[in-house]
Structure 1
């Protein structure tokens, strides 16, 4: 049984006169010790999905349908009181902006001890010992000195290490890291990626990494979900998805990477912009930006513009694309014709 199971999850924001769907029918499984990536442009629904997994959606956002199970236990119907027993203890979140996560008027030690004592009855001495241990685990220099410092006295990388240490304090099974390397310099990013990899191995920790950075996803994760306009458009083993992308959107994201081109060569950004939740196109939401739709025949173009594609198996991954589905159909027909040819 998977540690975490998400089935057909949809998240909506109910506003006066409109209901906006930010996440639509997302499903995945996460095994113990597994690292899963969620990638896509801003507005794809990645962070909303992450917040929904730990029930941190602020009104008017809410889970409209679907299931979230942790070791078989259904979480979506839990009361807020019961969620407090899950959040932090079983599932923890590392937020995108570590400075905004930390309270500016409390020292690092005060905040970390507060996190511990909210869930466990501990003496001040034992709480301090556990806090120092976790700061040492995340590689923070001079942890005893850092306990007495305020967030503004720390660098961005140090703040992120403190936030990760806070997430690890209660020894959770799952950590959701939302853009963990954003706004960090390249060296600090590399150190943080190495730290997360080491923590997953030593703690048998399951990790969900939300990012727009494919390089981070490639280094950290074994499997990846590619999201666009609230839906999963491709999923599969990270290596296969990045080396052999099946969906036109995944291909466009990889083609836009600067390292794909020689120095001074022009870049190839994804044309257009992602749709806002309230004005998403019918059919495949990516079709206004898709280069394959232009080359498609009239029947296929009508399908792209009118019918939302379902996820289908393709080259070891799953992809939601009518173009790929048509190619698979043609290959199956051709294979059957070759197989049926009489032998000489």
Structure 2
């Protein structure tokens, strides 16, 4: 049985003109110690999916329909706030994009870590400080004793993100959800932070849900991945299988748009158009206005693309939502290794 099992997740926002669906029929699972990547452009629904797990959807947003999220045998949908607090930050921790928005600017690092421990455990200040120091050391923060007395603004961006990782590990969670944890950092610091997060998850058998738009990072860190578009999962399976042989035209476009996939000196590849607004989705497949395969060679629309929403099909391990999956052009073999080599060289 999976540690986390999400089925038919439907998230909506109640607006004056009617409900807007931010997530539609999203399903996935996570085993203990497994690393799952969720990728897609801005507006695809990646962060909403993560926030839903911890019930951090702000009103007018709400979880609707037959949504089910089972964590370690316990249904999270409909759980009381008090019961959720025993899970949120304790058994499931989250690392947000901007550490300065997460950390309290008027409290020292030590005060914030001690407060977090005391909120979930009956523990003395002395013991809480000792655990905080151990977690800072685990996050490879130099001079951890001094850091406990510092305020967030006194630390660099990379150091603040390491502090957030240490806080996420405070209560020995089963799952860490990392929402684009390196977005605000420079490239070298990004690599250090991701290597640290991967090492800690592997060492302590912690499940990781990594939300990112960086397919290079996903190819190195995760074992399985979901590709999302306009609130739906359009492809999922083992990371290297998807990167080596993407079946959905959108996934193919994302990979081909990476700088390392273009010939040096030539223009970068791109997916034409932009993500549609959730309150004005195209009919049929939401990707069809941008899809190079939605129109046949003779100019006629491909059957199904404009009038039917494709469902996920395939094996349990590898699924794709595309009407013409059998006709997709295979990606050249060895593409995952090419991505990894390019990332390492950076």
Q: TM-score band (shorter)?
A: over 0.9
1:52-91 deviation digits (Å, cap 9, x = unpaired): 0111111011111310001121110201111001101111
Deviation at 1:302, TM superposition (A): 3.9
Q: Who is 1:159 aligned against?
A: 160
Between 1:314-323 and 1:76-85, the stretch displaced more is 314-323
1:173-220: CA deviations, max 9, x gaps? 011000011021111111111111111111100000000010111111
- The answer for the alignment partner of 1:116 in structure 2 is 117
In structure 1, the partner of 2:211 is 210
| 1:296 CA drift (Å) | 6.2
1:145-185 Cα shifts (integer Å, max 9, x gaps): 11111111111111111111111101110110000110211
State the shift of 1:37 in Å: 0.1
Correspondence 1:63 to 2:67 = no
Aligned partners of 2:327, 2:264: CA distance in 1, in Å? Answer: 37
Once the two structures are superposed, the pairs formed by residues 108-147 of structure 1 within 5 Å of their partners are 108-147=109-148
Q: Cα RMSD between the aligned structures? A: 1.7
Change (3 A) 1:265 1:64: same
Give yes or no for contact 1:12–1:21 (8 Å, CA) kept in 2: yes
Give the conservation status (yes or no) of the 8 Å contact 1:193–1:219: no
* SS of residue matched to 1:235: strand
Task: Specify the alignment match of 2:172 in structure 1.
Answer: 171
- Greater helix content: 1
Q: Deviations over 1:132-153 (max 9, x none)?
A: 0000001111111111111111
| Range 259-268 or range 319-328, more displaced | 319-328
Question: What's the TM-score once normalised by structure 2's chain length?
Answer: 0.92
**Structure 1 match to 2:337:** none
Q: Please give the alpha-carbon distance, in whole angstroms, between the structure 2 residues aligned to 1:124 and 1:84.
A: 21
Q: Choose 293-302 or 17-26, whichever is displaced more.
A: 293-302
Once the two structures are superposed, the pairs formed by residues 91-110 of structure 1 within 5 Å of their partners are 91-110=92-111
Give the C-alpha shift of residue 301 in structure 1.
2.2
Give the 3-state SS of the residue equivalent to 1:284 in structure 2: coil
SS in 2 for 1:52: helix
Question: Residue 338 of structure 1 aligns with which residue?
Answer: none
Aligned residues: 328
Q: Displacement, 1:268? A: 1.1
By how many angstroms is 1:295 displaced? 2.6
2:46 counterpart residue number: 46
Match of 2:12, SS state, is strand
What do residues 248-277 of structure 1 show as CA deviations (whole Å, max 9, x unaligned)?
000000110001123221111110000111
Deviations 1:275-308 (A, max 9, x none): 1110111110000000011236788624101100
Name the structure 2 match of 1:240. 241
Which segments of 5 or more consecutive residues in structure 2 lack a partner in the other structure? 330-346
Is contact 2:54-2:88 (8 Å) kept?
A: yes
Given the alignment of the two structures, is residue 186 of structure 1 paired with residue 187 of structure 2, yes or no? yes
Distance 1:186 1:263 in 2: 20
- Local SS of the residue matching 1:277: coil
Matches within 5 A, 1:21-40: 21-40=21-40
Aligned to 1:228: 229
Please, what TM-score do these two structures have when normalized by structure 1? 0.92
DSSP 3-state at the match of 1:268: coil
